[in-house]
Structure 1
Amino acid sequence: MQHLLVEPSPATSTSLTQRLHHRSERLWPGSRLDIQGHRGARARVVESTIESFVAAFDAGATGVELDVRLTADGHVVVWHDPRLEPEKCSSTRDDLIGARVDELTLDQLRTVDVGSRTSAAFPLQRPAPGAGIPTLSELLAVGRDRAPDIWWTIELKLDPTEPGVDRTRALLLDSVLAAVAAAGTGPRTLVHSFDWAALELAQQLAPELHRSALAVTGVTYTEGSPWLGGVDWRDHRDDLAGAAAAVGAHVVAPHHDSVDAELVARAHELGLGVLPWTVNDPDDLRRVVAAGVDGLITDDPELALSVLG
């Protein structure tokens, strides 16, 4: 599928506009290039805090990407890492550093400060002293008030190699669906996961929601991979977009290094959107947009919007 840049004649401009409008609706739930803040705007404010997401909203991001996990008592919290890492967390009561998030209750997690430690990887990052790990419901409520049109890309943090993952997958997905329904954000939500079995389950439980297939070529997307749900890599091999379509995804989300015009054209041919991550360098931002992606995930939505105009 080739993308041709042509000047339409007056006689054909209306039909061409209609076709392009139809194409954008078919390939992507939004109507414009979607600039999504990764874990909020973590290049500017410590990641996964309410303050970081507000920074993304204020920067003009059209979407945000966030990670969710279950606590020991069944709450959905917005946090990337399976454990409380000392580089990001400090205890204010009991020493919980190093503990698994899924082995702690929400009350225990409330005692952990995740906003005070900044990362050397992001020299512009500012702290959010005293910030705690938010629940998904809390974050969606803030978004409803501050950015009612924002898109939510919710990554289900699941590892299909861990014992008990089938139960965890069902509980996490059920809880996420309940929070999304209560917040009324379903029409602007992508269920996003490296664990493609979660996407298959989401298709059964909430077929109206959009689904996004995360992948790392050669790691999660490879022969014999446990991450592909019911899809057999051998049926698709180098055709990542074809595999994502086979699992019932609406969007394929590879690392940006894997994105080129050929992948985008194949995804569009199959009716999929393309959402690469995590695109921070100005040259990479321009490259993936030139390849025709439908959106991108970035640590710095403010920079991305400036670079891309």
Structure 2
Amino acid sequence: MFNRKKIDSLFMMALVILLCITSPSILLAQTPSISLSNYTIPLNSRGAYVASVNGPLPLSQLRMKIVGDTAKLFTLGKNGKIYLRKSKLVSANDGIRAYGITVEFDKKRYEVELVKDEFLRNKVIAHRGAWRAEGVMQNSIRSFQQAVALGCAGSEFDVWLSKDRQVVLSHDPHIGGLAVEESTAQELYTSTLKGGDPVPTLIEFIKLAKQQNKTKMILEIKSSPTGRSLELADSVLAVVHRLKAQGYIEYISFDYAVLCHIVKRDPSARTAYLYGNKTVGELKVDGLAGLDYDFYQYRKDPTLIKRAKEAGLWTNVWTVNTVNELRKFLDSEVDWITTDEPELLLKLINEKKTKI
């Protein structure tokens, strides 16, 4: 006779294996991993503190060590703290962007990448890339390349999940007459190929963006009308971790549940909320790193920036395009300004410098 319990058990095991193979989000959920409190290396500071390791268990219960460090730059101190060796420092503009290390605990090994912190801090976030002046498509590889060429601190872009579970770049739920969530990544790519800026996947985009370390990727996870927002968030995290791109990316969304989900899955992820209906205290309690509100919210509450900074949150304002508004926020304590006119904002920054 057949053992019904055994058959059910084998069936469930096979189903889990199949799902893990076909779904990067489920694979991420099933696989224990570590994260770091930070993925960037401070410049010109011997023996500098780099990051702390966040593991699935209290660090006191783990036997940890660095087993891979080809550059021989790093050492692991007490309580899982990573430092540059006392005699070592990293400097800018030597052609090296990042260093890989492998951390081992409980006989499991995890590879991470630490990026030299040469990222720009000029407040300029190019909205959907720098596209308007050059006449290129928004959310395209060329719009990101142009933002890098201009010297923007960050370049914002939007992502959706295609029918075949590929994370693709687009602001709108439709591309070239096709519904993103109901089309394959190849169909979306083909439908826009003739325009010279075909729809890239997140994998393609990150691989290109990691060829520099001046401009950060500001990744907006769109709210899915079909209820796939959390699946999209998991797929995004799976791609980012697989490509070791944590040091390059910050996450934003209008969907608060998505951001809380990301924080739960990856406590070190830098997240900011877009909608503007949460207080500074709520953002802080839920573990978000910042707020990214439209300029009307800052007008309505002149103390917002001050209170956010007191809570240790970073601030961004969107989408600011006029000279007067750009100057106003440039003179404020806001950390970043998202704009469709990055060239104009950079010009205003240079003008301000010459007056000092």
Same fold by TM-score greater than 0.5: yes
Q: Which piece of structure 1 moves more, 56-65 or 288-297?
A: 288-297
| Cα distance change on mapping 1:292 and 1:109 into 2, 3 Å | same
Q: 1:101 to 1:259 in 2, by over 3 A?
A: same
Q: 1:148 aligns with which of 193, 207, 213?
A: 213
Give the match for residue 50 of structure 1: 141
Q: Which of 286, 297, 304 matches 2:327?
A: 286
Tell me, what secondary structure is at the counterpart of 1:67? strand
In the alignment, is residue 130 of structure 1 matched against residue 196 of structure 2? yes
Tell me what 1:3 maps to: none
Q: Residues 261-289 of structure 1, C-alpha deviation per residue, up to 9 Å, x if partnerless? A: 41100111111111111111121111112
CA-CA distance at 1:137 after TM superposition = 1.2
The Cα shift of 1:247 comes to 2.9
Cα distance, 1:31 vs structure 2: 7.9
**Which residue pairs with 2:126 in the alignment?**
37
Corresponding residue of 2:257: 197
TM-score (norm 1): 0.69
TM-score normalized by structure 2? 0.60
2:338 maps to 1:303: no
Matched positions, count: 229
Provide the alpha-carbon RMSD of the alignment. 2.0
Q: Matched residue of 1:276: which SS? A: strand
In structure 1, list runs of 5 or more residues that go unmatched. 1-28, 90-96, 117-128, 222-232, 234-239
- Aligned-pair identity (%): 31
Cα separation, 2, equivalents of 1:66 and 1:31: 18
Conserved? CA contact 2:120–2:152, under 8 Å = no
Deviation (angstroms), 1:215: 1.4
Could you give the per-residue CA deviations for residues 231-290 of structure 1, whole angstroms, max 9, x where no partner exists?
A: xx6xxxxxx323322332111011123225411001111111111111111211111122
CA contact (8 A) 1:187 1:209 kept: no
Decide which moves more: 176-185 or 195-204.
176-185
Alignment of 1:139 onto 2:218: no
Q: Is the contact made by 1:280 and 1:298 (CA closer than 8 Å) also made in structure 2?
A: yes
Q: Give, as a single letter, the amino acid of the residue that structure 2 aligns with 1:153.
A: I
Matched, 1:103 2:169: no
Deviations 1:61-88 (CA, angstroms, capped at 9, x unpaired) = 111111000000000001011123xxxx
Is the 2:151–2:215 contact (alpha carbons within 8 Å) kept by the matching residues of 1? no
Alignment match, 1:225:
none
Give the distance between the partners of 1:189 and 1:49, measured in 2 at CA.
17
| 1:68 lines up with 2:159 in the alignment | yes
Letter aligned with residue 47 of structure 1: Q
Secondary structure of 2:331's aligned partner: helix
Does structure 1 residue 186 correspond to structure 2 residue 246? yes
Structure 2 residue runs of 5 or longer lacking an equivalent are: 1-116, 351-356
- Once the 2 structures are TM-superposed, how far is the Cα of residue 53 of structure 1 from its aligned partner? 1.1
Relative distance call for 1:140 and 1:298 in structure 2 (3 A) is same
Aligned residues of 1:278 and 1:297 also touching (Cα < 8 A): yes
Q: Which has the higher contact order (CA 8 A, sep 6+)?
A: 1
Call closer, same or farther: CA 1:31–1:64 in 2, change over 3 Å.
closer
- C-alpha separation between the residues in 1 aligned to 2:290 and 2:152? 19
